[in-house]
Structure 1
């Protein structure tokens, strides 16, 4: 069984504003990367993300960026050191403008090993990406940072 998932949500802001909230490190740090983000997400770049719930900086390798449409990146699967040699999963974020002015954001991730550790890691990331969508919505629509103080 291939381990992958997709989550989505609608944000009551134009697609350009939602897209910028992801690719701009200063904006991403306001609601998602609780430890901060360094580097703008552009095709071929490697940016660094940090989270209070997973201390330390994580390299995020940007595979493809299409302005106001999608961001594709790879990062290391979080299975723990006992799971074997490290490997990457692929995340695809898509941004679709809706007729009512809102934006549909869809986040898919795939590429885990088909092992109990891979399954557990995929569930953890699925939970995390849904939380990221909720945090993005709260911040963009209401200026509220849902993750502040949650993990530290």
Structure 2
């Protein structure tokens, strides 16, 4: 494991912290900008499965910690990695900071996963911002790797 290696993406979303936090724990909202299906709402100590139907991909998500309107800590993927979502109330809205860490890859494989994580979480934050602020589903995840 590479304890000093982590990925960080952040975005100011001009909505109240309660609304932004809810968007990440409630699949009725999250499916408007990220995955397409979930087995349930995020709750501390629970496992849910997220699915991206257009790619035929799914992953289990274990919620290690959930502090309302402040923090979500999950483990997901194969090989598994840690992801923390921090929500910071600011004058103009909510700053969301996503940190991914605990990578087991090394060398070129590690560089690829860092690149994928950075781009992926940036896309998620961009989609969330567009959806929450303007009610627009930009279809960013679906269009990131379009089939012909």
Instruction: Quickly name the TM-score band, shorter chain normalised.
Output: 0.7 to 0.9
CA deviation map 1:73-103 (0-9, x unaligned): 00124xxxxxxxxx31100000011123x00
The within-5 A match list for 1:1-152 is: 2-33=4-35, 35-52=36-53, 54-77=55-78, 87-100=79-92, 102-113=93-104, 114-147=106-139, 149-150=142-143, 151=146
CA distance in 2, matches of 1:6, 1:125: 9
Q: 1:30 offset after TM fit, Å? A: 1.2
CA deviation map 1:24-69 (0-9, x unaligned): 0111111111x32221111111111112464232111111000000
Q: 1:129 offset after TM fit, Å? A: 0.1
CA deviation map 1:86-133 (0-9, x unaligned): x31100000011123x00000000011233212211210110000000
Cα 1:65–1:111 change in 2 (3 A) is: same
CA distance in 1, matches of 2:27, 2:91: 28
**Over 6 Å off, 4+ runs:** none
Q: 1:5 offset after TM fit, Å? A: 1.2
CA distance in 2, matches of 1:96, 1:146: 24
CA distance in 2, matches of 1:90, 1:58: 13
Q: Note if contact 1:48-1:57 (Cα within 8 Å) is conserved in structure 2.
A: yes
**How many residues get paired?**
141
**RMSD, matched Cα:** 1.7
